[in-house]
């Protein structure tokens, strides 16, 4: 019996591109086997790779329907065909090989600023006019009339309204520019600003005071069409003014404010007082009969180490006095000064708070619409003393900002109360008790100085008692004629 050997047969699997003239895009290795044997090959991985590149499977002749191919006596060729996939192209899905102008057209709304004190950047809004195109995933070329194509459309029908900004030193005639409807072309609008008006200081004859001002009005912090209300009228050296604050209605108009020139009083001529001899007044009348004669003012000053001199304004000063100033500044207006305490003088170690308090000016400043941000002079009960640096003026600052509360019309109480005077009295008494004259001063001179100081303290005590009586009579509106008569007789 003769045995016949089966010949080995071949099978080929081709992957073709239907959209590119049936070009082969992949192929299997040469497969061989005996006729009737199953073709041992799985095309699934190759199909997956081609789909990842953008191809779409059309037909799988090898095992697409679940068939199991076998070798035959002839070479078998199996085709697995693909077509090109498609994709969207629009602003959310751009494609570098297609110019963006083909599917998106930005339309701009621009607000430009004119007349501003400093350059202001243009305000720009953008709304896109766009459409969607279709592109070949393999070639990245546009497919005319593709499956994803749409007509042109807008992201929005109109632009947003634009609120004009508040600018320092300038105002405009409108608060908001309405957003225009979107068309086919860009839109540009100009916001025109004008400089704020000024406070013009004039004298009582209406003539402008030279070499001062003018003071430009501050812009309202919330409304670009207005200037701020209740702006504090600035002080000018040598002048006074009755108007504390000003609220301009026309933001671009200058407003005159009348200042009155301060008339310096005639120097007083001190007539000799012959009503009483202070050297022989009894203790109850401020002087002990056994005390030495009272020294004159110059002698007392020299005894306590306070040599005097006359400054450039003709005011007598002590040679070792220090100077301090308390400034009130507007933090909303680049730290511009609102007012100040003016120069305060005292010896090193003396308490500055005894000469000045921020309470009185703060009542007027708060009525003008300000609130305190910081106070490094007497905020939170701080106590400041004159230092020993003769070269530098001590400067303290009260920082203020505008507040929204309505201007308070209450009248402030500027009278010094009895408690404050009593506090000062205690400080003076403490200085007297701790006074230590130098060794060159004899006992009689020391006793005279202490006697003068004690007499001053008793006078201050009488003033406090009188001030308390007047305040009580004003508050209760009760006039006790009998009591007043007794007091006058006792006095």
DSSP collapsed to 3 states, 364-430: HHHHCCEEEEEECCCHHHCCCECCCCCCCCEEEEEEEEECCCCCCCCCCCCCCCHHHHHHHHHHHHH
Query: 169 in a domain, yes or no?
Result: yes
Asked which of 162-166, 215-219, 269-273, 359-363 is least confident by mean pLDDT, the reply is 269-273
Q: Is the pLDDT of residue 426 over 60?
A: no
Considering the domain architecture, whether residues 309 and 413 belong to the same structural domain is answered as yes
User: What is the torsional sign of CA 186, 191, 192, 193?
Assistant: negative
Tokens matching residue 465:
């008692």
Residues 157 and 79 in one domain: no
pLDDT surpasses 50 at 202: yes
Is 43 domain-assigned?
yes
Query: What is the pLDDT averaged over residues 277-290?
Result: 38
User: Does residue 265 lie in a domain region?
Assistant: no
Give the residue among 254, 219, 222, 257 at the shortest CA–CA distance from 240.
257
Last-in-domain residue among 28, 63, 84: 84
Q: Which residues are 444's β-sheet partners?
A: none
Q: Give me the torsion for CA of 291, 292, 298, 303, rounded to 10°.
A: -80
Pair 345, 445 in one domain? yes
Whether cis (ω within 30° of 0) applies to the bond prior to 214 is yes
CB 82 within 8 A of CB 16: yes
Count of structural domains, the chain:
3
353 shares its domain with 426: yes
Same domain, 32 and 166: no
Cα 352 versus chain centre, distance: 31
297 pLDDT above the threshold of 90: no
d(CA 232, CA 365): 8
Query: Do 291 and 419 belong to one domain?
Result: yes
Q: How confident is the model at residue 468 (pLDDT cuts 50, 70, 90)?
A: low
Three-state SS at 133 = strand
Cβ proximity of 89 and 132 under 8 Å = yes
CA 174/CA 171 separation, integer angstroms: 9
Could you tell me if residue 236 is inside a domain?
A: no
In a domain, residue 156? The reply is yes
Helices (runs of H) and strands (runs of E) counted in the chain: 6, 28
Residues 187 and 65 in one domain: no
Residue 10 pLDDT > 80, yes or no? yes
CA distances in angstroms from 442 to 103, 185, 304, 446, listed in the order given: 106, 99, 12, 6
Please give the angle made by the CA atoms of 319, 321 and 324, to the nearest 5 degrees. Answer: 150
* CATH number, residue 27: 3.10.20.470
pLDDT at site 391: 74
Domain end: 168, 194, 220, which one? 194
Q: Is 355 helix (H, G, I), strand (E, B) or coil?
A: coil
Same domain for 298 and 395?
yes
Q: Answer yes or no: do 304 and 406 share one domain.
A: yes
Number of Cβ atoms within 10 Å of the Cβ of 346: 18
* Amino acid 291: pLDDT: 39
What pLDDT is attached to residue 474?
55
- Both 154 and 32 in a single domain? no
* Same domain, yes or no: 382 and 467: yes
In a domain, 264, yes or no: no
Mean pLDDT of 383-402: 89
CATH number of the domain bearing residue 92:
2.60.40.4300
Dist CA 343 CA 393 (whole Å) = 9
pLDDT digits (tens, 9 = 90+) for 80-97: 999 999 999 999 999 999
Does 304 fall in a domain?
Answer: yes
Mean of all residue pLDDT scores within the chain: 79
Q: Does 120 lie in the same domain as 31?
A: no
Instruction: Find the domain containing 93 and state its range.
Output: 88-194
Domain closes at, from 152, 176, 194 = 194
Per the domain annotation, does 200 fall within a domain?
no
Is the per-residue pLDDT at 30 higher than 50? Answer: yes
| Distant-in-sequence, close-in-space partners of 234: CB < 8 Å, separation ≥ 6 | 199, 213, 215, 338, 339
């Amino acid at each position: 019996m003769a045995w016949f050997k089966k010949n080995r047969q071949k099978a080929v699997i081709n992957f073709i591109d239907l959209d590119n003239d049936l070009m082969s895009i992949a192929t299997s290795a040469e497969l061989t086997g005996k006729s009737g044997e199953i073709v041992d090959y799985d095309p699934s991985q190759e199909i997956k790779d081609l789909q990842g590149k953008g191809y779409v499977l059309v037909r799988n002749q090898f095992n697409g329907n679940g068939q199991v191919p076998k070798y035959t006596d002839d070479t078998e060729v199996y085709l697995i065909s693909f077509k090109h996939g498609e994709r969207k192209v629009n602003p959310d899905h751009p494609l570098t090989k297609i110019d963006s102008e083909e599917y998106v057209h930005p339309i701009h709304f621009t607000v430009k600023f004119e007349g501003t004190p400093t350059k202001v950047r243009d305000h720009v809004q953008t709304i896109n006019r766009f459409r969607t195109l279709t592109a070949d995933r393999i070639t990245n070329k546009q497919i005319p009339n593709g499956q994803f194509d749409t007509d042109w459309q807008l992201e929005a029908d109109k632009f947003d309204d634009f609120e004009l900004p508040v600018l320092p030193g300038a105002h405009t005639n409108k608060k908001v520019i309405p957003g225009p409807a979107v068309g086919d072309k860009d839109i540009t609008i100009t916001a025109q600003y004008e400089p704020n008006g000024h406070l013009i200081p004039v004298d009582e004859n209406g003539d402008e005071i030279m070499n001062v001002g003018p003071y430009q009005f501050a812009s309202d912090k919330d409304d670009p069409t207005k200037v701020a209300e209740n702006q504090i009228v600035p002080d000018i050296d040598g002048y006074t003014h009755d108007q504390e604050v000003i609220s301009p209605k026309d933001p671009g108009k200058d407003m005159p404010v009348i200042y009155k020139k301060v008339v310096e009083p005639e120097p007083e001529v001190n007539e000799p007082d012959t009503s009483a001899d202070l050297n022989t007044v009894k203790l109850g009348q401020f002087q002990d009969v056994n005390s030495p004669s009272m020294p004159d003012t110059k002698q007392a000053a020299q005894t306590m180490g306070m040599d005097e001199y006359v400054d450039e304004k003709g005011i007598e000063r002590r040679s070792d006095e220090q100077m301090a100033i308390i400034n009130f500044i507007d933090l909303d207006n680049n730290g511009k000064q609102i007012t100040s305490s003016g120069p305060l003088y005292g010896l090193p170690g003396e308490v500055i708070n005894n000469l000045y308090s921020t309470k009185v000016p703060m009542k007027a400043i708060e009525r003008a619409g300000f609130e305190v941000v910081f106070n490094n002079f007497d905020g939170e009960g701080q106590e400041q003393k004159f230092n020993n640096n003769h070269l530098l003026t001590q400067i303290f600052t009260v920082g203020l900002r505008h507040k929204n509360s309505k201007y308070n019309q209450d009248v402030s109480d500027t009278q010094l109360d009895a408690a404050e005077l009593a506090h000062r009295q205690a400080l003076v008494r403490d200085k007297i008790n701790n006074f230590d004259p130098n060794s060159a001063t004899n006992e009689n001179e020391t006793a005279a100085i202490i006697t003068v100081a004690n007499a001053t303290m008793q006078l201050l005590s009488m003033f406090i008692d009188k001030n308390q009586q007047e305040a009580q009579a004003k508050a209760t509106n009760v006039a006790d004629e009998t009591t007043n008569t007794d007091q006058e007789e006792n006095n």
